[in-house]
Chains A and B, each alone.
Chain A
Amino acid sequence: MMNDSLYLDEARDPLIIAEGWMKDGKDVAIATVVETWGSAPRPVGSHLVIDADGNFHGSVSGGCVEGAVVSEAIDVIGSGKARMLEFGVADETAWQVGLSCGGRIKVYVERLG
């Protein structure tokens, strides 16, 4: 369940930060956990927001796959085409990075605007 805190912690809230970046004229991508299987560090609905310089706020895992999501997000900002990423336990499959906890997550990455 995604509960917004009593009064939003605006300095750390990814969606508030993304809106601020947009107002500053930055290009922004938003990554969202849309599915999890097994043990996953961040619940469905969690966000990582990324700007074109690779600055980011929020999280979609416990720090295991953020690096990969950031580089994909920079591509998405360039192309404007949303991507669905899937991460599983660290192995030789699709991605070099993985979740040490043994879970799997699906992350939707889209450009803002």
Chain B
Amino acid sequence: MDPYALKTLNAERRARRAAILVTDLGDGRDRIVREGDQVAGDLGAAIAKAFRSGSSGSVEAEGRTFFLNVHLPQPRLVVIGAVHISQALAPMARIAGYPLEIIDPRTAFATPDRFPGVALHAEWPEDVLKHQPLDNYTALAAVTHDPKIDDFALKAALDANCFYVGALGSRKTHAKRVERLLALGATADQIARIHAPIGLDIGAASPAEIAVAVLAQTIYAFRSRGLDAKGAVA
């Protein structure tokens, strides 16, 4: 392995950016491809697919065998609101492989008693996100119903290009939210990325069922990254 490739790969991993180490198994030469880099031909197609699936493996291209070792940052889920839905979502997300954190400044809601074993921040999103910024491998679900708590986080998620942004509330509630986000400086294209009403339409009724719908929509958004120019699915 080229020492420069190793250094580059580790730097990308530390920065929570996706990268693939491409090794020619015939001559041992390797290089790093970052997400979004243009690679032509069959190899390029295989690389694009590998970024989406996260699966490492060998590919035949241009009469050679290449090994693609895919390094994706751990996708994670940030939930704004320590509410009933979040209580169901926390264990489900953990099982599905999406570590979850909850932010809610209302100390009556954000208690370890209500959320045993969950990473909880009983603080304003403004304060938490300053230290732990959102990124492209983070999903954000805003479920407090309270603009004072949700709006800043939603705008931050759009600016950080989170792979999934969802907001709880009816279409009517969302229409008012759109006005407020425009006032905060969000663009119409950005706002179109918000999933509202939140969750895949499975007819969810209870808080736990809504949690299933949110988790399913998060997974769908993650697995279809790059397939839609706007990143908007379902």
Contacts and interface: CB of A to CB of B under 8 A. Distances in A.
Contact of B1 (A30, A34, A43, A44): A30
Interface stretch (A12-20, A56-64, A66-74, A88-96): A12-20
B95 to A, nearest CB: 15
A112 B23 CA distance: 13
B3 A22 contact: yes
Given A15-B6, A19-B6, A4 B76 contact: no
Given A1-B53, A82-B28, A108 B71 contact: no
A110 interface: yes
Contacts, number: 73
Contact of B55 (A1, A30, A82, A110): A1
Describe A's contact surface by its main secondary structure.
mixed
Contacts of B10: 15-16, 19
A16 B73 CA distance: 15
Contacts of B73: 3-4, 6
Interface string A91-108: 000000000000000001
B224 to A, nearest CB: 15
A13 to B, nearest CB: 8
Contacts of A11: none
Given A18-B6, A110-B1, A112-B6, A4 B13 contact: yes
B56 A45 contact: yes
A3 B96 CA distance: 13
A108 B58 CA distance: 12
A36 to B, nearest CB: 10
Contacts of A16: 10
Contacts of B200: none
Given A34-B58, A35-B58, A110-B1, A22 B28 contact: no
Interface residues of B, number: 30
A32 B58 CA distance: 12
B28 A110 contact: yes
A5 interface: yes
Interface string B176-215: 0000000000000000000000000000000000000000
Report the 5 A-B pairs with minimum CB-CB distance, sorted nearest first: A45-B56, A1-B54, A82-B28, A113-B3, A3-B74
28 contacts: A1-B53, A1-B72, A2-B69, A2-B71, A2-B72, A3-B72, A3-B74, A3-B97, A4-B13, A4-B71, A4-B74, A6-B74, A15-B10, A15-B13, A19-B7, A19-B10, A34-B58, A34-B67, A35-B58, A43-B56, A45-B69, A84-B25, A108-B67, A110-B23, A110-B28, A111-B1, A112-B1, A113-B1
Interface of A: 1-6, 8, 15-16, 18-19, 22, 30, 32, 34-35, 43-45, 82, 84, 108, 110-113
Given A2-B69, A3-B74, 12 more contacts: A1-B54, A2-B56, A3-B73, A4-B16, A4-B73, A8-B14, A15-B6, A22-B3, A30-B6, A44-B57, A110-B28, A113-B2
